[in-house]
Chains A and B, each alone.
Chain A
Amino acid sequence: MANVSQKVVHQYLRHNKKFPNVWCAGCSIGIVLGSIIRGIAELDIPKDDIMMVSGIGCSSRMPVYVDFNSLHTLHGRPIAFATGIKAFKPHMKVIVITGDGDATAIGGNHFIHAARRNIDLTVVVINNHIYGMTGGQYSPTTPSGDFASTCPYGNIDSPFNICNLAIGAGATYVARSTAFHALEVQNLFKEAILHHGYSVLEVISACPVIYGRLNKKGSASRMMEHMRDNSISVKAVEKLPPEQTENKIIRGVIKHDTNLPEYTARYAQLVENLREKRDGGRNEDV
Chain B
Amino acid sequence: MGEKKIIPKGKQKTTTSKKTLTKPVKPKDPQKRWVLMQGNEAVAKAAIEVGLNFFAGYPITPSTEIAEILSEELPLRGGSYIQMEDEIASICAIIGASLAGAKALTATSGPGFSLMQEGIGFAKITETPCVVVNVQRAGPSTGLPTKPSQGDMMQSRWGSHGDSPAIVLYPDSVRETYELTIRAFNLSEKYRTCVVLLLDEVLGHMREAICLPDMSKFRIVNRLKPTVPPEWYKHYDEDQKYLSPLASYGEGYRFHVTGLAHDVYGFPTNKPIEVATMMKRLKKKITQNIRDIVQIESFMMEDAKAAVFAVGIIARAAKSAVLAARKEGFKVGLLRPLTIWPFPDDAVRKMLKNVDTVIVPEMNQGQLVHEVERLTKEKEDSDIKKIQKANGELITPNEIYKKIKKVL
In contact, A73 and B76 (Cβ under 8 angstroms):
no
Q: A80-B96, A92-B249, A92-B250 are in contact. Are A73 and B85 (CB under 8 A)?
A: no
Please, how many angstroms separate the alpha-carbon atoms of A274 and B74 in the complex? 11
Residues of chain B contacted by A85 (CB below 8 angstroms) = 96-97, 99-100, 249
Stretch at the interface among A61-69, A140-148, A170-178: A61-69
A48 to B255, CA, bound (A): 10
- Bound together, the chains give a CA A81 to CA B92 distance in angstroms of 5
Contact B93 A83 (CB under 8 A): yes
Structural contact, A71 and B257, CB atoms closer than 8 A: yes
Contact (Cβ within 8 A) A270 B75: yes
Contacts of A109 on B, CB cut-off 8 Å?
85-86, 89
Residues of A with C-beta under 8 A to B92:
73-74, 77, 80-81, 83-84
- Most chain B CB inside 10 Å of its own CB: which residue of A18, A47, A87: A87
Closest to A82 in B: B96
Instruction: Tell me if A83 and B96 are in contact (CB < 8 A).
Output: yes
| B93 pairs with A81, CB closer than 8 A | yes
Chain A residues whose C-beta falls within 8 Å of the C-beta of B100 in the assembled complex: 51, 84-85, 88-89, 92
B245-276: contact bitstring with A at CB < 8 Å (1 yes, 0 no)? 00001111111111110000101100000000
Name the residue in A51, A68, A69, A267 with the highest tally of chain B Cβ atoms < 10 Å from its Cβ. A69
- Is the CB of A195 closer than 8 A to any CB of chain B? no
**A245 interfacial by beta-carbon distance below 8 Å:** no
The CA of A69 and the CA of B251, in the complex, are separated in Å by: 9
Contacts of B267 in A (CB 8 A): 17-18, 64
**Which of B119, B251, B256 is A77 in contact with, Cβ under 8 Å?**
B119
Q: Mark B89-117, 1 if CB is under 8 A from A, else 0.
A: 11011111111111010000000000000
Contact call A84/B258, Cβ cutoff below 8 A: no
Least Cβ–Cβ distance between B349 and chain A, in angstroms: 39
Partner of B257, one of A18, A70, A80, A275: A70
B251 and A72 contact, CB distance less than 8 A? no
Q: Are B86 and A83 in contact (CB under 8 A)?
A: no
| Chain B residues in 8 Å Cβ range of A67 | 254
Tell me the minimal C-beta distance from A273 to chain B in angstroms: 9
A77 and B102 contact, CB distance less than 8 A:
no
What are some 27 contacts across the A-B interface (CB < 8 A)?
A17-B267, A64-B256, A64-B267, A72-B257, A73-B92, A73-B96, A73-B122, A74-B92, A80-B92, A81-B92, A81-B93, A83-B56, A83-B84, A83-B89, A84-B82, A84-B98, A85-B96, A87-B82, A88-B53, A88-B102, A89-B250, A92-B250, A109-B86, A110-B89, A271-B78, A274-B76, A286-B76
Q: Which residues in B have some Cβ–Cβ distance to A below 8 Å?
A: 53-54, 56, 75-76, 78, 80, 82, 84-86, 88-90, 92-102, 104, 118-119, 122, 249-260, 265, 267-268
